[in-house]
Structure 1
């Protein structure tokens, strides 16, 4: 029997699920230390004193349901704990394990249990390591960012590392992920924090106005520009120029912008003396810049001159736990501004917010919170205040509700993605009235129908099993296991 691995967090077993003997020996042989407590109350008392990173709990404990234990831990802000739920055999209701990292359905063999616990343990170690290495975060967040997920902490570290450089930063990410917040964080974390931070939005400028807005202009050349005669580059002298949606820069102007980056010199539009400016340039794009280069819409030499320090912002669906924290902060701020009583999120509302995919990212979440504050009042934001799609009701009117409330501020691609997801959900739920629908399934076994439906859902989610799992209301591990079993059947 091997020694338990040094430095690995022990697994806290709640409810005596791992009986002495075979399972305990299998875990120790795999290097997994085990602590055991008899019920939920004992687990809460232990976690209050010294939080454990990995929990294996029964769905129904002697003193409380396992879901109640998970909800209580969440309410007490026990962060970065990987929770696995052991469920009795039978039909799995994905909604009942909301908040768990994974769940196992009895009977579970030793290899499956060891694999699941090792994955949870590695996740817990990663969370702890990232937290130790991350920049300090005050109660207000990190320079405008809210969230403590692993992926965002890596973004904060990147911001810290590039802030003191003079090199150009290129920020990418889906609409609504906070690219301007990131650019301002870089500015505030660096030596130019007290100098101007100037924002230029290329997408909102007509092509014939871009040159004057960036480089300034002679008095008679253009009238009524946002940055006056001097232009955005000169306005940012000594500070930072953030160019939003650089991909929208007119092709003929890209050469002049490249010259500005290489020399630090600007020449006003319509005539004027060339002058030098000291500007840190940060740019951003909703689109994949390399695809723009391949399509011939963006100069390759300009791309490589800009793409010195790239930062990619993750979508909200990949920021584990952040959606709830962001929603709570936005709710308090919006309520204070509107004179409403809201002070937090009800447990069920927290669960729905955590599970929703948020195709419009933080911008969509902000729209939803502000709409709720405008329409309701109370001590807690409850689940019934959330739009129907966020509660998992995606058929009929609910689908159009998601698009109207959730992604109205996103771009056309985002809205199209939301529409596609809604259409799939309503068809799957039996709302489609198309001819021949019944004929497509008659003659198939239930297992084959399930397989075809799951595979269609995964395909509609661009091959993403986590997204498909959210749509189907199950854990990703369920889909992984089903795919493995289908492969075995083919063998």
Structure 2
């Protein structure tokens, strides 16, 4: 009789003679049928599995076999799965816990991720997703165990990407180091210019996927009718202008990281497809008849308040909870103390080399101005100011008269003129007369249309003034014309 062929997964191979037996995976699941299915899939991939049906039995097995990876159902008959996970991580912090939950308990899974879980799986999930999570967890724990003995001698690689030694940035670097080791989705927030893409790159570079591709896609810079093709790809002839097959960003990021910038600008229809992609790990290009599997980690970012976007109906709530697992907020430059001087001096040295100039540093008056300036453009604005100084001056010490006029003027004003108190809202302010009594939606429309008109009908210019994406204004105006 012909024997059935077992699936072959190289990383899950059986150990050869003389090699150490790998520690078993501990599966804690109270449903017997699911126990059997999960155990069979893991065993077919070459893993040894230890099974428990209750929290008490699971903790006893955990102490006995000391697994590197635990698969934990959060809904157990005798105890809350989250409490059990915390007990296990207290005893063995290097353990990778993959929590398993149903669709209605995503909030619980998010809570588990914040408490130290490595990854979560939402039922139902397919075999590839299941095995991929286990393999990633196994690999990352090896790295952590090797790095553990001398943590004080390890310099986080992301320190090379971020300039600044302030306490807020030290916390960010520590959070990146923890998040990078997991497969969890990272959601980066922060004002424009704070370094959200650098943060995403640091997560990728410090992860087990560092050798794979890092694909960045700005959801606010691509027309909505082309965004689906950019994310998921298309086949030749699927629409006018599709003269060849295109893989799309999700497929290009296979075995790597997909960075979705300005995620809150994504059209609602595409949000639905992104949610399905996250649940199934499959992509279906525009015009294709069959989907394909990919192995991608998602990192996303926005300069908006994502929860406010959910409240306004601009962002799907279920997608928000699926993505907002490990949040990282990039602090604005005005909250980073002396970091602005470190950034400016480093940029001055780099740009001087590029432009063939010799500068001797920042004058104390310039340093004082830099410290008190609010820097609404954050790090990007500092770099632009220093580039301007280097290009327009021959060298020497950077003084106030070398700075761009608007920055130099703000320094002179702050030294000589007393602060003028702002009037109370509505106090003798005629510009408010036409707004009182209107709804917020009406006021928003009036302000947007007036700003566009003031800038000669240019939506991109108005978007810069209002600090929103042009696609946001186009979408709002389209909605108003339909009403």
TM-score, normalised with respect to structure 1: 0.52
State the match for 1:330 in structure 2: 347
Deviation at 1:345, TM superposition (A): 1.8
Q: Assess if the C-alpha contact under 8 Å between 1:216 and 1:229 holds in 2.
A: yes
Hey, what's the Cα distance between the residues in 2 that align with 1:212 and 1:135?
42
Aligned to 2:274: 257
User: Could you say which residue in structure 2 is the equivalent of 1:119?
Assistant: none
Q: Does 1:199 align with 2:216?
A: yes
| Pair 1:339-2:353 in alignment | no
Gaps of 5+ in 1: 1-131, 400-424, 430-435, 438-491
**Contact preservation (8 Å) 1:218, 1:272:** no
SS of the aligned residue for 1:208 comes to: helix
* Alignment partners' CA distance in 2, 1:343 and 1:394: 21
1:162-200 Cα offsets, whole Å, 9 max, x none, are 001111000000011000000000000111111100001
* 8 Å CA contact retained: 2:264, 2:309: yes
Shift of the 256–137 alpha-carbon distance from structure 1 to 2, 3 Å rule, reads closer
Match of 1:278 in 2: 295
Partner of 2:161: 144
Q: Does 1:367 align with 2:359?
A: no
**Aligned counterpart, 2:206:** 189
| CA apart distance, 1:426 | 9.3
Alignment match, 2:320: 303
- The change in CA–CA distance for 1:286 and 1:137 in structure 2 (over 3 A counts) is same
Distance 1:222 1:182, change over 3 A: farther
Distance 1:226 1:137, change over 3 A: farther
* Aligned equivalents of 2:420, 2:176: Cα separation in 1: 43
Which residue is 1:348 aligned to?
365
CA distances 1:446-479 after superposition (whole Å, capped 9, x unpaired): xxxxxxxxxxxxxxxxxxxxxxxxxxxxxxxxxx
1:351-371 Cα offsets, whole Å, 9 max, x none, are: 221221111100111111111
- Cα deviation for residue 228 of structure 1 reads 6.1
Give the gaps of 5 or more residues in structure 2.
1-150, 422-427, 430-483
Partner residue in 2 for 1:16: none
Aligned length: 272
What is the CA deviation profile of residues 207-263 of structure 1, one whole-angstrom value per residue up to 9, with x for unaligned ones?
Answer: 111111101111112477899611000000000000000001110111110010111
Matched, 1:208 2:225: yes
SS in 2 for 1:241: strand
The residue aligned with 2:336 is: 319
Does the 8 A contact of 1:213 with 1:227 survive in 2? no
1:252-288 Cα deviation digits (max 9, x unpaired): 1111100101111111112232101000100000100
Do the aligned partners of residues 137 and 379 (structure 1) sit closer, same or farther apart at CA in structure 2, a change above 3 Å counting? farther
1:368–1:135 distance in 2 versus 1, CA, 3 Å:
farther
Deviation at 1:136, TM superposition (A): 2.5
Q: Within 5 Å, give how 1:26-65 maps onto structure 2.
A: none
Partner of 1:487: none
Say if 1:134 and 1:313 are closer, same or farther in 2 by CA, change over 3 A: farther
* Cα 1:156/1:226, change in 2 over 3 Å: farther
Q: Give 3-state SS (helix, strand or coil) of 2:410's partner.
A: coil
CA contact (8 A) 2:232 2:249 kept: yes
After superposition, the C-alpha distances for 1:69-128 in whole angstroms (9 at most, x for unaligned) are xxxxxxxxxxxxxxxxxxxxxxxxxxxxxxxxxxxxxxxxxxxxxxxxxxxxxxxxxxxx
Alignment of 1:417-456 (within 5 A): 428=420
After superposition, the CA RMSD in angstroms is: 2.9
Question: By how many angstroms is 1:386 displaced?
Answer: 2.1
